[in-house]
Amino acid sequence: MRRFPVCACSTAHLPRAEHDAIDLLIRHAPRRSGRIIVDHPILSIEAHQYGFWVHLGFMDDWPERPDGLSPEFWALLADARKAGANWLSFDRDEPPSDRFPVFAAVQEERDPTGGTVESVNAASPAARITIRCSACGSAEVMRDAWARWDDDAQEWVLGAVFDAAFCEVCEKDATLSEQPLGGSQHKHP
């Protein structure tokens, strides 16, 4: 029998949109030979009763953070990998660590009317932001993403959002900047 190290981490450290997207994938996962296949575009995920396992072997192929993972998610995976782990278990019963930010209420059961995945900034609802084109300041900007049909919500729900962005005013690929909503319109360089 082979021994290998694992890490455990509270699901509260996962950004809410990403946590919800993975829960949705698990909920709608197809089965192959009776086993749940969690069809994440980057990660190998195994669902368990209190959360899910993420296999860390993909980091051999992705020494830099892939676009589909947030810096917060990546920091958790990288920390576990650095500790020598092969798997990281996200577990709602694991106490949060003071080394990582905590995102609100991820362990709650989702409201059956759905629709929480778009609350990208749920960690700090007071600090609402807008996203603008760094070149022209327009809000007419888009990002590449994938969505999945949700039978319960009866709508397409957002999965991952990628870094690639487009400005409709510039009519070309754009760099985006975050600005406080209703605050200064100062552009980040």
Contact footprint for Zn ion (CB under 5 A): 133, 135-136, 138, 167, 169-170
80 vs 167, beta carbon nearer Zn ion: 167
What three-state secondary structure class fits 56?
A: coil
What CA–CA distance (Å, rounded) separates 6 from 89? 7
Which residue is listed with tokens 């991952």? 160
What is the smallest separation between the CB atom of 177 and Zn ion, expressed in angstroms?
11
Strands 6-10 and 87-91 turn out to be parallel
Cα–Cα distances in angstroms (integers) from residue 60 to residues 55, 56, 78, 81, 125, in the given order: 11, 8, 11, 10, 36
Nearest distance in Å: CB 70, Zn ion: 24
> Min. distance of Cβ 168 from Zn ion in angstroms?
8
- Closer to Zn ion by Cβ: residue 77 or 167: 167
Q: What are phi and psi of 76, to 5 degrees?
A: -65, -45
Shortest distance (Å) from residue 143 CB to Zn ion = 13
Closest to Zn ion by CB, 76 vs 167, is: 167
Tell me whether residue 92 or residue 143 sits nearer to Zn ion (CB atom): 143
Contact 168, 138 (CB under 8 A): yes
